[in-house]
Amino acid sequence: MRGADITQAALFSYRTLEARIPQVHPLRKLRAVVDGLLAAMHPELEALYAGAGRASIPPKRLLRASLIQTLYSIRSERQLVIAPR
């Protein structure tokens, strides 16, 4: 079963992700392109998942995380999850 791409805005932070990234940052333009591509891939992604069972991590979120990991040369998924202090 395919999970929904839901963000819990105020779980750990007082500032939203939108407030943290400047309006002119290149990632904003890239996200618009990636979101368009993922929307076009929606039927193919939907066909890969069963209709019942436990919800998975949304594939859109996994693909976005993999792209960020590649762009910033982050060596592992663990480093991607652990925020620098």
Instruction: Give the pLDDT confidence score for residue 2 in this predicted structure.
Output: 62
Rounded to whole angstroms, how far apart are CA atoms 71 and 10?
26
Answer whether residue 23 shows pLDDT above 70.
yes
Q: What's the pTM value of the predicted model, to 2 decimals? A: 0.68
Spell out the domain ranges in the chain.
23-79
pLDDT tens digits along 31-40 = 999 999 999 9
Dihedral angle, C-alpha 57, 61, 63, 69, nearest 10 °: -110
Residue range 42-51, pLDDT digits in tens: 888 888 887 7
